[in-house]
């Protein structure tokens, strides 16, 4: 009897230890703290612990520094269990080595690929076929107009079927510079950054490089690129371009803006003016889509807590209530399609033109940010600014120099 009692106590102790071990699991999650993301994460982690007993330790930082910070964590042997980044942040890494394939987990849990926009699911598929992330939030931007300023200047409000010609006309006529050289208003607020120029370049029928993955040459000297950047150059030459991240538009001094996200109303202080969103204007090509930056919820291959990590990713990227709370706090677009539809429906009641921003999601010519191009586009961007902002060199010279340097970088294999 004594031996049986000891056996029972031993088994009971092992069961208790297993329960304690499961409840003591801590998931280390790495992500961004921009746009009140830290507030959402803290609330989410608290709810997750209440429902599952699993602790989530948050390691958050500025989105612009995520790549460097992740590299430091990995080098120091402090790999997180789950991460939330864009693919641009993962450009230096072998994705198949770094991240877990989520497809088997999705199949087992009933999470469908069709619950998310197809382009962003495909964008997260590696060359080996692994699906490495759930696109839990979609950041996009597009054109917007200052209705108050346009009416004050006696200019017509652009309609969704507007064209490059309309864009140039508004940007020119809305630019008002006094005889003393003081700019009272400008036509076009367009950050001279390669991603913000990309929809315009594609609208012109061109692109920066010959292909998305493993490009072999620059195509900066193609007719489509020259057409698009010449449009920007003409407006800049007349003083009608504000190349900042929204300064003139947000202060009510620019007629048009090409960096208007779903949070534009929150960026405009005290409802200073009436505004509306627009689709991209029709140019020489059929490309009228915009650029998206999907942020993905991902699991590290190295995590010893795969089941717990998958529970956390579902809670973060698939749970409708949590995604709605995410959009309420951050004003960003949730990645799950049906939650995104609710997001836009609620905002349409306040400003019906937001449907033009939503239309970019369904536009077949919209595209995810080409993270692979970042090293080459930094070169192009430097020369774009010399031509279009400081106006140190003519546009043609800037394109020639950027084309030469990018081709040299491609050939060197750097």
* Assigned domain for 345 exists: no
In the predicted structure, residue 18 carries a pLDDT above the cut 50: no
Mean pLDDT of the chain: 90
Number of domains in the chain: 2
Distance CA 332, CA 189 (A): 22
According to the model, what pLDDT value does residue 213 have? 81
In the predicted structure, residue 181 carries a pLDDT above the cut 50: yes
For residues 16-38, average pLDDT: 73
Instruction: Give how far Cα 284 sits from Cα of 143, 171, 224, Å.
Output: 18, 18, 8
Radius of gyration from C-alpha coordinates of the chain? 25
Q: Which domain holds residue 152?
A: 142-260+370-412
In the predicted structure, residue 218 carries a pLDDT above the cut 90: yes
In the predicted structure, residue 244 carries a pLDDT above the cut 80: yes
* Assigned domain for 268 exists: no
Given pLDDT bands bounded at 50, 70 and 90, which one contains residue 324?
very high
According to the model, what pLDDT value does residue 22 have? 46
Q: Which of 214-218, 279-283, 291-295, 392-396 has the lowest mean pLDDT?
A: 291-295
Query: Which strand (E) or helix (H) includes residue 189?
Result: strand 183-189
In the predicted structure, residue 271 carries a pLDDT above the cut 80: no
According to the model, what pLDDT value does residue 194 have? 96
Distance CA 113, CA 145 (A): 35
Q: What percent of the chain has pLDDT over 90?
A: 70
For residues 20-37, average pLDDT: 79
According to the model, what pLDDT value does residue 23 have? 54
What the block records as the tokens of 62 is 């500025």
Q: What is the domain-level CATH number for residue 194?
A: 3.40.190.10
Same-domain pairing of 128 and 163: no
Same-domain pairing of 131 and 152: no
Given pLDDT bands bounded at 50, 70 and 90, which one contains residue 19?
very low
In the predicted structure, residue 211 carries a pLDDT above the cut 60: yes
* Assigned domain for 188 exists: yes
Distance CA 86, CA 368 (A): 10
For residues 41-51, average pLDDT: 96
* Assigned domain for 237 exists: yes
The answer to whether 332 touches 63, Cβ cutoff 8 Å, is no
In the predicted structure, residue 9 carries a pLDDT above the cut 50: no
Same-domain pairing of 54 and 73: yes
Same-domain pairing of 320 and 378: no
Cβ count within 10 A of residue 181 = 7
According to the model, what pLDDT value does residue 168 have? 98
Given pLDDT bands bounded at 50, 70 and 90, which one contains residue 1?
very low
According to the model, what pLDDT value does residue 61 have? 85
What's the burial of 256, exposed, middle or buried (CB within 10 Å: 0-12/13-18/19+)? buried
* Assigned domain for 158 exists: yes
Same-domain pairing of 146 and 195: yes
For residues 335-346, average pLDDT: 91
For residues 208-233, average pLDDT: 96
According to the model, what pLDDT value does residue 86 have? 87
Q: Which of 95-109, 134-148, 256-270, 305-319 has the lowest mean pLDDT?
A: 256-270
Q: What is the pLDDT of residues 84-129, one digit of tens each?
A: 998 888 878 899 999 999 999 999 999 999 999 887 898 899 989 9
């Amino acid at each position: 009897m004594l031996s049986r009692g000891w056996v029972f106590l031993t088994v009971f102790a092992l069961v208790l230890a297993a329960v304690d071990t499961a409840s003591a699991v801590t998931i280390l999650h790495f992500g961004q703290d921009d746009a009140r993301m830290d507030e959402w994460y803290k609330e989410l982690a608290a709810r997750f612990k209440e429902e599952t007993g699993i602790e989530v330790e948050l390691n958050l930082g500025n989105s612009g520094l995520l790549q460097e910070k992740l590299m430091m964590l990995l080098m120091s042997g402090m790999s997180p269990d789950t991460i939330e980044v864009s693919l641009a942040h993962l450009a230096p890494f072998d994705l198949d080595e770094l991240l877990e394939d989520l497809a088997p987990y999705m199949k087992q849990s009933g999470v469908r690929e069709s619950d998310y926009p197809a382009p962003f699911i495909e964008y997260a598929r590696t060359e080996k076929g692994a699906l490495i992330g759930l696109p839990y939030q979609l950041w996009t931007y597009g054109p917007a107009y200052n209705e108050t300023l346009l009416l004050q200047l006696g200019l017509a409000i652009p309609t969704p079927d507007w064209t490059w010609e309309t864009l140039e006309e508004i940007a020119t006529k809305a630019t008002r510079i006094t005889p003393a050289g003081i700019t009272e208003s400008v036509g076009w607020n367009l950050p001279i950054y390669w991603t913000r120029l990309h929809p315009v370049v594609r609208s012109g029928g061109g692109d920066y490089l010959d292909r998305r993955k493993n490009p072999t040459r620059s195509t900066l000297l193609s007719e489509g690129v020259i057409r698009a950047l010449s449009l920007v150059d003409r407006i800049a030459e007349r003083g009608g371009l504000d190349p900042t991240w929204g300064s003139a538009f947000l202060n009510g001094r620019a007629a048009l803006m090409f960096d208007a996200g779903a949070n534009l109303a929150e960026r405009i202080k005290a409802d200073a003016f009436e505004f509306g969103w627009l689709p991209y204007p029709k140019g020489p090509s059929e490309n009228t889509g915009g650029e998206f930056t999907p942020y993905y919820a991902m699991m590290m291959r190295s995590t010893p807590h795969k089941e717990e990590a998958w529970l956390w990713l579902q809670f973060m990227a698939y749970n409708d209530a949590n995604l709605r709370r995410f959009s309420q706090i951050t004003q960003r677009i949730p990645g799950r399609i049906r939650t995104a539809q609710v997001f836009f429906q609620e905002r349409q009641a306040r400003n019906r033109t937001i449907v033009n921003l939503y239309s970019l999601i369904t536009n077949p010519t919209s595209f995810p940010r080409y993270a692979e191009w970042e090293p080459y586009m930094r070169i192009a961007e430097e020369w774009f600014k010399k031509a279009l902002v400081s106006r140190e060199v003519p546009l043609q010279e800037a394109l020639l120099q950027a084309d030469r340097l990018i081709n040299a970088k491609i050939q060197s294999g750097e």
